[in-house]
Amino acid sequence: MAASAGPEIERLIALLAKLPGLGPRSARRAALALLKKREQLLEPLAASLAETAAKVVSCSICGTPDTRDPCSICSDGARDNGLICVVEEAGSLWAMERSGAFRGKYHVLGGLLSALDGVGPEALRVAELVGRVKGGEVREVVLALPATVDGQTTAHYLAERVAGNGVEVTSLARGVPVGGDLDWLDDGTIVQALRARRPA
């Protein structure tokens, strides 16, 4: 590393390099940009991070990071309490919200079951989900988990855990993405899209 950069800057670079999407080199560039734009970037970012660290908590009901607990979604009376969408991370939740297609509540697992990484149910917010389902108000649990091995393993596990409480467990449809060209689709997706074909 650059001895001349000084310990504070090297520490900043090391921390930036831990962000997904940034490596050692791009972290150095980022640190440089921060040092060049003190008023516009460095100081606002420092303040924003401090504010986030101070204010943002994860919702005690669904696990979404928010400044209020229960979060703005859980405390939104206009949303359907009978419908719970289970997502891996807040990122998926934000994506669902951008789509504007879902008007129920959410449950953020905080990860996926993974034999390789040794992630078991106790590491995820599974017990909380079962608790919410046993609460009685829930009619349907929509599993919006990634179409990966871990994602599907987790989905099957959750379906079993949640079953038998008079709840319907569904999961997002698989198929050709909007604008998806068959030439570019993997076989798995085509197989799924064909199996799930419907009258045009």
Single out the residue of 143, 123, 147 nearest to residue 133, CA to CA.
143
From 21-29, 113-121, 143-151, 175-183, give the range in contact with a second copy by CB under 8 A. Answer: 21-29
What H or E segment, with its residue span, contains residue 15?
Answer: helix 7-16
Tell me the closest approach of the beta carbon of residue 148 to a second copy, in angstroms. Answer: 16
d(CA 189, CA 112): 21
List 61, 86, 93, 144, residue binding a second copy (CB under 8 A): 93
Taking a C-beta distance cutoff of 8 angstroms, is the pair 71, 62 a contact?
yes
What H or E segment, with its residue span, contains residue 115?
Answer: none
* # residues contacting a second copy (CB under 8 A): 59
Which tokens belong to 137? Answer: 């108000």
144 is an interface residue for a second copy by CB under 8 A? no
Binding site for a second copy (CB under 8 A): 1-6, 8-9, 11-12, 15-16, 18-22, 26, 28-30, 32-38, 40-46, 48-53, 55-56, 64-67, 71-73, 89-91, 93-95, 97-98, 110
